[in-house]
Amino acid sequence: MSVYDTVISSRIRLARNVNGLNFPGNFKKYEHAAILRFVQNARATVESLTDCNFYFMQSIDELKRQSLVERHLISPNLAKNPYGAVVISKDNSVSVMINEEDHLREQVFAEGLNLEAVWQVIDRIDDALIANLGVAFDDKLGFLTSCPTNVGTGMRASVMMFLPALNMLNDLSHKTPEFAKREGFTFRGAYGEGTEALGNVFQLSNSLTLGMSEADIVRAVTGMALEICELEERARALLLNRMTIPLKDRICRSWGLLTNAYIMSSKELMTLLSDVKLGIILEILPKYDLKKLDKLAVLSGSATICQGNPDLTSDQRDIKRAAFVKRAILGE
């Protein structure tokens, strides 16, 4: 079993609120600014956040906000909030959203299945912020949050998974999501609840935060991810045996389009990348760094590809994407 082929990235997100202030949904006008001041002061004492970019949502344009959403550095809800802000590390591995559903949403990312390492990083950041801010906490319930389902640890541990074979065999329409749900997990599209799994990328995360420790959650999500990796590996073998010729034809056509198309939408790109990645994994196509393809998908998002060119039409954007992808893959 190759976890490298299946798990794209790991993320842990913590929901925190400052003691004595209303939750964002019930904010009084002055409290938005108060949280921003508190965090600005606190980040100066947190080693991981001192040399970071600080963005106010009302101070950056729509294109920049959407680009941050595409890269999972902020949520769509924060992007719409004029009182929101975010602290982002230079390498984009740390993101702290301010005035989202909770006062703080701390996030740490890493490539591959690395939830334990991610937890070690975010735990240090969280301890430093808690020491400086005074966080809402109950001795029986744990951390208090806007949404009751986050009460307790306030933790969501998630992994992005590439599951083309399970999806092609229609397993993901029912079996795997139901299996994960029964075991206390959520299984959905890459951008959260109600989103489409573009490029056969799915997000697995814990559903429970109350009554479990942080270490329990990390172990549970890691264990479930490994189980799904095994299911995907079996599905890939079955897929190759069942439909070798049609599968090879589809993969090779996708490679041709990916490296020769003149115009390409973001949705088409994700489909082509999925086919090509599967072809590389099944050795139908020559070896190629799968992580480069994953990064290519992120850098080719509609808002991100338009950075520096906000006036591009949709056709111009899709032409630029096709040229960018071709150069990146062929090394031109």
Per-residue pLDDT tens digits for 245-274? 999 999 999 999 999 999 999 999 999 999
User: For residue 121, is pLDDT > 60?
Assistant: yes
Contact 280, 289 (CB under 8 A): no
Residue 161's closest CA among 103, 58, 230, 71? 230
Residue 176: the pLDDT is: 67
Residues in the chain: 332
- Is residue 134 over pLDDT 80? yes
What pLDDT sits at residue 162? 95
Asked if residue 85 lies in contact with residue 95, where contact means CB atoms within 8 angstroms, the answer is: no
pLDDT in tens, 65-100: 999 999 999 999 999 988 889 999 999 999 999 999
How many Å apart are CA 157 and CA 208, to the nearest integer? 10
- Report the run of H or E that residue 96 belongs to, with start and end: strand 94-98
Radius of gyration of the chain (CA): 21
Q: Give me the residues paired with residue 95 across strands.
A: 88, 107
At 1-60, the pLDDT tens digits run: 589 899 999 999 999 998 888 888 777 766 777 787 777 777 776 777 878 899 999 999
Q: Which residues lie across from 201 on neighbouring strands?
A: 162
The domain covering 3-234 belongs, at the CATH homologous superfamily level, to: Glutamine synthetase/guanido kinase, catalytic domain (3.30.590.10)
What are the CA-CA distances from residue 49 to residues 14, 34, 42, 52, 277 (Å)? 16, 19, 9, 5, 35
Enter the tokens of residue 312. Answer: 């591009």
Between residues 188 and 79, which one has the greater pLDDT? Answer: 79
Domain range annotation of the chain: 3-234, 244-330
Question: Percent of the chain at pLDDT above 70?
Answer: 94
Using the predicted structure, report yes or no on whether residue 225 has a pLDDT greater than 90.
yes
Could you tell me the CA-to-CA distances from 200 to 14, 49, 166, 265, 278 in Å, in that order?
26, 34, 9, 16, 10
Residue 51: predicted pLDDT:
82
CA angle 59, 65, 9 (to 5 degrees): 135
Q: Is 271 exposed, middle or buried (0-12, 13-18, 19+ CB in 10 A)?
A: middle
In which band, very low, low, confident or very high, does the pLDDT at 116 lie, cut at 50, 70 and 90? very high
pLDDT band at 180 (very low <50, low <70, confident <90, very high): confident
The predicted structure's pLDDT at residue 143: 93
Q: Give tens-digit pLDDT for 227-250.
A: 999 999 999 999 888 878 999 999
Tell the residue number behind the tokens 């935060």, with chain if given.
209
Rounded distance, CA 29 to CA 253, Å?
Answer: 56
Q: Tell me what pLDDT residue 114 has.
A: 96
Burial class (CB in 10 A: 0-12, 13-18, 19+), 71: middle
The pTM assigned to this predicted structure is 0.90
Mean pLDDT of the chain: 89
Contact 296, 273 (CB under 8 A): yes
* DSSP code per residue over 133-190: H-B-EETTTEE--SSGGGTBT-EEEEEEEE-HHHHHTTGGGTHHHHHHHHTTEEEEET
Render pLDDT for 285-310 as a digit per residue (tens, 0 to 9). Answer: 999 999 999 999 999 999 999 988 88
- Confidence bin at 332 (pLDDT 50/70/90): low
